[in-house]
Structure 1
Amino acid sequence: MSSICCKVESIEPLTDIVSRVKLAALSPISFKAGQYVKVIMGENDSRPFSIANAPDGSNQIELHIGAGAGNDYAGQVLEKMNTHGEIDIEGGHGEAFFRDTDIKPTILLAGGTGFSYTYSILQQRLKIADDQPVFLYWGTQKLADMYEYEVLIELEKEHKHFRFIPVVDAPDEQWQGKSGWVHQAILTDIVSLEPYQVYVAGRFEMAGVARDDFQKQGLLLENLYGDAYQFI
């Protein structure tokens, strides 16, 4: 797969450590919702980031890059984008893309910036005119980390079959929603996962535990998707 040069249109802070990057590809790029691109940093150095937007035939790519203190892996990518104003990428990559030929009730499970993967799928899924339920469970350390909270609340109002369930790991005293492990919230809410397709993005440890627990609750593994499952 040949590389594609992209102009860096904007880098916008979403939280103290997460930035929204908008790229304009200078040649045609093709991807499916839920795929990722590799940012080329050197001859033998390419770094994967989930695409946060759904494909729409344009040359636009949106990335949500988390680069906290000590995270040179992502921080160097942002630095290069800021310095040069353009970047080379390859994509789309990944087999955990949205399956749109056999629509089932859908659960999207995101931990932290894994949200970008589920957000791409969500946008594509909501384009389909049907009434099959769609759930997005997003787990973060604190509510302030949930940088698209208000956007998701509005989407929930616009689409009657969509529900957004935020899960905060370390809530303050004012929080009245769900807390703890995000995948446990799904297990509590849904008695049987057998009818569902589930898309997962987050830390490998979470993805592994979720797979085991979801299977025990009836999920068919052929209906479980996540890039992590190629490695664990």
Structure 2
Amino acid sequence: MSAGPFQITVQPSGRAFAANEGEPILQAAIRQGIGMPYGCKDGACGSCKCKKLEGTVVHGEHQSKALSAEEEAAGFILTCCGVPQTDVVLESRQVTDESAFPVRKMPSRVLSLEKVSHDVMVVKLQLPANDTMRYHAGQYIEFILRDGARRSYSMANAPHNGPGVELHIRHMPGGKFTDHVFTAMKEKEILRVEGPFGSFYLREDSGKPMVLLASGTGFAPIKALIEHMQFKGITRPATLYWGGRRPSDLYMDEWVKARLAEMPQLKYVPVISNALPEDNWTGRTGFVHKAVMEDFPDLSGHQVYACGAPIVVDSARAEYSAVCKLPPEDFYADSFTTEADKHGK
């Protein structure tokens, strides 16, 4: 067996690229501007799963919910942690090459911090004026911390609303980065970022009506999609389902309602799972992904864009296909894995 580099061929597009010895397939694709679907890059979400047609791939550490032993035995791989040992042929829904913006590192400065609920901070970052980051609404950036650790956050504004970026950061008590954001971060602080990452963005080559599914701060990239739709004059019908435990978790409810007045194609269904009597909540209750199934028992002609907690995204992915006839290729997702999720805790 040779020591690489190995040729990776993606079917049905026939596109080929090289992976170095020891290099995961996805890392090689990103390095060379080849667009492939992915989410967390950490073996936790399953967004990069695809079928191996030929060759040998060895997996690094990953979670069984992202790739089960049965799936691996059936020839499925995770490109984010799959390292080729030979030339490999894959079957994958490829993102078009033109859509892959260059991934770059750059400094950013904290412009503003706004606490919009008890555990959500809206952080606005200024990027270098002479070095604009190009990205798709829905993609994410990573903070590179001093110790080399990384934290990923979706950009909550569409690129035309730049040149800075808006992030919605939920406080995870005990998490070193979010503790810093909520207790010590100051305006003008300098942070290193890298991006854009992710294959979560609006597929504009389709006219299908859309379901936009968000839980908690999963609303951030959905907000960017809505801004992008408004900016581009996209009139496809879209229904936003935003779920939270309490009404205060829908921290930009008024922003959504203002868009409804401007975008007749947009509908909004807020869903609360754990309202207390003092909330006086009279709207929909229960699990947000279930509310979609109640309203859309047949999703066969729709696209779904889902973002938020892994349990919500994973449940929606499985149940919409199995119960509501959604074609799997029409489910686009960004699963918000925490550091604990990534380590299977």
Specify whether residues 198 and 229 from structure 1 end up closer, same or farther in structure 2 by C-alpha distance, changes over 3 A only: farther
The corresponding residue for 1:33 is 137
Whether 1:220 and 2:327 are equivalent positions in the alignment is yes
Instruction: Give % identity.
Output: 29
Counterpart-to-counterpart distance in 1, 2:133 and 2:254? 30
Specify whether residues 11 and 196 from structure 1 end up closer, same or farther in structure 2 by C-alpha distance, changes over 3 A only: same
Q: What one-letter code is carried by the residue in structure 1 that aligns with 2:153?
A: F
How many corresponding residue pairs? 231
Answer 1 or 2: higher relative contact order, Cα 8 Å, separation at least 6. 1
Counterpart-to-counterpart distance in 2, 1:56 and 1:13? 24
Gaps of 5+ in 1: none
Counterpart-to-counterpart distance in 2, 1:180 and 1:199? 20
The corresponding residue for 2:108 is 6
CA-CA distance at 1:96 after TM superposition: 1.5
Structure 2 residue matching 1:184: 3-state secondary structure: helix
After superposing the two structures, state which structure 1 stretch, 202-211 or 70-79, moved more: 70-79
Moved over 6 A (4+): none
Q: What one-letter code is carried by the residue in structure 2 that aligns with 1:10?
A: S
Q: What one-letter code is carried by the residue in structure 1 that aligns with 2:117?
A: T
CA-CA distance at 1:228 after TM superposition: 3.0
Specify whether residues 169 and 96 from structure 1 end up closer, same or farther in structure 2 by C-alpha distance, changes over 3 A only: same
* TM-score, normalised by the number of residues in structure 2: 0.63
The corresponding residue for 1:111 is 215
Whether 1:50 and 2:157 are equivalent positions in the alignment is no
Tell me if structure 2 keeps the 8 A contact 1:41–1:77. Answer: no
Gaps of 5+ in 2: 1-102
Specify whether residues 88 and 103 from structure 1 end up closer, same or farther in structure 2 by C-alpha distance, changes over 3 A only: farther
Match of 1:167 among 261, 267, 271: 271
* TM-score, normalised by the number of residues in structure 1: 0.91
CA-CA distance at 1:108 after TM superposition: 0.8
Specify whether residues 75 and 83 from structure 1 end up closer, same or farther in structure 2 by C-alpha distance, changes over 3 A only: farther
The corresponding residue for 1:206 is 312
Counterpart-to-counterpart distance in 2, 1:76 and 1:196? 41
Whether 1:17 and 2:119 are equivalent positions in the alignment is yes
Counterpart-to-counterpart distance in 1, 2:244 and 2:161? 32
- Give the structure with higher Rg (CA): 2
Specify whether residues 80 and 120 from structure 1 end up closer, same or farther in structure 2 by C-alpha distance, changes over 3 A only: same
Counterpart-to-counterpart distance in 2, 1:114 and 1:23? 19
The corresponding residue for 1:67 is 171
Counterpart-to-counterpart distance in 2, 1:78 and 1:59? 24
Counterpart-to-counterpart distance in 2, 1:196 and 1:223? 7
Q: What one-letter code is carried by the residue in structure 2 that aligns with 1:176?
A: T
Specify whether residues 139 and 188 from structure 1 end up closer, same or farther in structure 2 by C-alpha distance, changes over 3 A only: same
Counterpart-to-counterpart distance in 1, 2:237 and 2:276? 30
* CA-to-aligned-CA distance 1:168-206 (integer Å, 9 cap, x gap): 011244222111100000000112111111111111122
Whether 1:86 and 2:193 are equivalent positions in the alignment is no
Q: What one-letter code is carried by the residue in structure 2 that aligns with 1:200?
A: A
Counterpart-to-counterpart distance in 2, 1:83 and 1:117? 23
Structure 1 residue matching 2:214: 3-state secondary structure: strand
Counterpart-to-counterpart distance in 1, 2:273 and 2:261? 25
Q: 1:114-125 maps to which residues of 2 (within 5 A)?
A: 114-125=218-229
Tell me if structure 2 keeps the 8 A contact 1:139–1:166. Answer: yes
CA-CA distance at 1:51 after TM superposition: 0.5
Q: 1:134-149 maps to which residues of 2 (within 5 A)?
A: 134-149=238-253
